[in-house]
């Protein structure tokens, strides 16, 4: 492995152009406070990129927005499934222009399960043009709908919805609310009711959200690839980051006691 340098010393665009002109084959890894990105080259062409949930072109453009990172290169010829569609010269042209904004957007909206709400105290002097796309998003931005639901309901397309949410958040008109919790599932006792039991401190966190100030009566419990289960919610001190679920719910989700599950309030 050879150390190339850091993003603070060398521009990413220069590295990509160098690899293209010298027809490099191998793995370039960028590691820093933001995480790690893997870029694979084959005879000077960038063929594969991955950075956590970001893949392909998205991972490359996001990397242009990183402020720090150590770059290391390993010459190797390894078969991979290509996921990058653009040429290096296209990244060199677009990356410096959109990379910082792209990276900020990905930090603000890391998954489509993120929820936004209107800010209660927007700046008095803000002036923001509300076009057709913005109006469509605002119409459905209620009842704790997440990004995925906004995309489905507005029918604008994911990229346009992300643009609107990001721009309005940057203008201090919207704010992200972290309503989804990752909790450790346990089975309710034999005589437990058909409800989910949670710690009252979790409800207090949720009640900071405008639409939940009156309290939480229903929760959605889910796992990736599984249909959410809707349950009534009760709160009992001492559960900390655990959620106690009916045994039937554990079975429906394919869960075992002690495994993590996603939990969010349901506005119904």
Q: What is the CATH number of the domain that holds 209?
A: 2.40.40.20
Last residue of a domain, one of 101, 129, 158: 101
What are the tokens at 179?
A: 């309503």
Contacts of 27 (CB under 8 A, 6+ apart): 38, 39, 40, 41, 73, 74, 76, 78
Shared-domain flag, residues 171 and 195: no
Binning pLDDT at 50, 70 and 90, where does residue 33 land? Answer: confident
Last residue of a domain, one of 49, 66, 101: 101
Task: Determine the Cα–Cα distance for residues 142 and 207; give it in Å rounded to an integer.
Answer: 15
Task: Determine the Cα–Cα distance for residues 231 and 247; give it in Å rounded to an integer.
Answer: 13
Shared-domain flag, residues 257 and 185: yes
Last residue of a domain, one of 53, 77, 101: 101
Mean pLDDT of 121-135: 86
Shared-domain flag, residues 130 and 167: yes
Which pTM was predicted?
A: 0.80
Shared-domain flag, residues 188 and 252: yes
Rg (CA), the chain: 23
Binning pLDDT at 50, 70 and 90, where does residue 209 land? Answer: confident
Whether 106 is in a domain gets the answer: no
The phi and psi torsions of 37 (rounded to 5 degrees) equal: -120, 135
Whether 110 is in a domain gets the answer: no
Shared-domain flag, residues 66 and 124: no
Whether 108 is in a domain gets the answer: no
Mean pLDDT of 31-54: 94
Shared-domain flag, residues 127 and 206: no
**Nearest CA to 87 among 53, 55, 51, 57?**
57
Task: Give the tens place of pLDDT for each residue, 222-254.
Answer: 888 788 899 999 999 999 999 999 998 999 998
Kindly tell me if the per-residue pLDDT of 262 is higher than 60: yes
Kindly tell me if the per-residue pLDDT of 191 is higher than 70: no
Binning pLDDT at 50, 70 and 90, where does residue 3 land? Answer: low
**pLDDT at residue 208, as a whole number:** 85
Whether 25 is in a domain gets the answer: yes
Shared-domain flag, residues 126 and 205: no
Whether 107 is in a domain gets the answer: no
Kindly tell me if the per-residue pLDDT of 194 is higher than 90: no
Specify the residue for token string 């450790």.
184
Whether 59 is in a domain gets the answer: yes
Kindly tell me if the per-residue pLDDT of 268 is higher than 70: no
Shared-domain flag, residues 168 and 189: no
Shared-domain flag, residues 24 and 84: yes
Kindly tell me if the per-residue pLDDT of 212 is higher than 90: no
Q: Is 63 exposed, middle or buried (0-12, 13-18, 19+ CB in 10 A)?
A: buried
Mean of the per-residue pLDDT values of the chain: 91
Mean pLDDT of 74-80: 90
Binning pLDDT at 50, 70 and 90, where does residue 122 land? Answer: confident
Shared-domain flag, residues 34 and 65: yes
Number of structural domains the chain divides into: 3
Shared-domain flag, residues 11 and 72: yes
Shared-domain flag, residues 15 and 93: yes
The boundaries of the domain holding residue 259 are 181-265
DSSP string for residues in 123-186? -TT------HHHHHHHHH--TT-BHHHHHHHH-S-HHHHHHHHHHHHHTTSEEEE---EEEEEE
Mean pLDDT of 141-168: 90
Kindly tell me if the per-residue pLDDT of 8 is higher than 90: no
> Which residue has better confidence, 119 or 71?
71
Kindly tell me if the per-residue pLDDT of 192 is higher than 80: no
């Amino acid at each position: 492995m050879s150390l190339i340098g850091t993003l603070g010393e060398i521009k990413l665009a220069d590295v990509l152009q160098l690899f293209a002109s010298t027809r490099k084959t191998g793995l370039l890894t960028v590691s820093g406070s933001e995480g790690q990105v893997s870029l694979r080259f084959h005879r000077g062409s960038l063929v594969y990129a991955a950075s956590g949930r970001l893949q392909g072109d998205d991972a490359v453009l996001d990397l242009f927005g990183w402020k720090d990172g150590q770059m290391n290169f390993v010459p190797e010829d390894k078969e991979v499934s290509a996921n990058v569609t653009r040429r290096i010269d296209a990244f060199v042209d677009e990356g410096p222009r959109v990379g910082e904004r792209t990276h900020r957007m990905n930090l603000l909206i890391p998954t489509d399960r993120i929820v936004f709400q209107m800010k209660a105290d927007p700046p008095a002097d803000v002036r923001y043009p509300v076009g057709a796309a913005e109006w469509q998003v605002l119409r459905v931005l209620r009842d704790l709908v997440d990004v995925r639901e906004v995309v489905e309901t507005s029918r604008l397309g994911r990229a346009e919805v992300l643009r609107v949410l990001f721009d309005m958040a940057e203008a201090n008109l919207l704010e992200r609310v972290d309503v989804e919790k990752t909790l450790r599932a346990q089975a309710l006792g034999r005589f437990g009711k058909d409800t989910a039991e949670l710690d009252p401190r979790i409800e207090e966190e949720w009640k900071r959200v405008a639409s939940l100030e009156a309290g939480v009566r229903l929760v959605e419990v889910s796992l990736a690839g599984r249909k959410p289960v809707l349950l009534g919610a009760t709160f009992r001190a001492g559960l900390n980051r655990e959620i106690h679920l009916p045994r039937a719910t554990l079975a429906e989700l394919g869960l075992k006691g002690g495994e993590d599950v996603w939990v969010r309030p349901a506005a119904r």
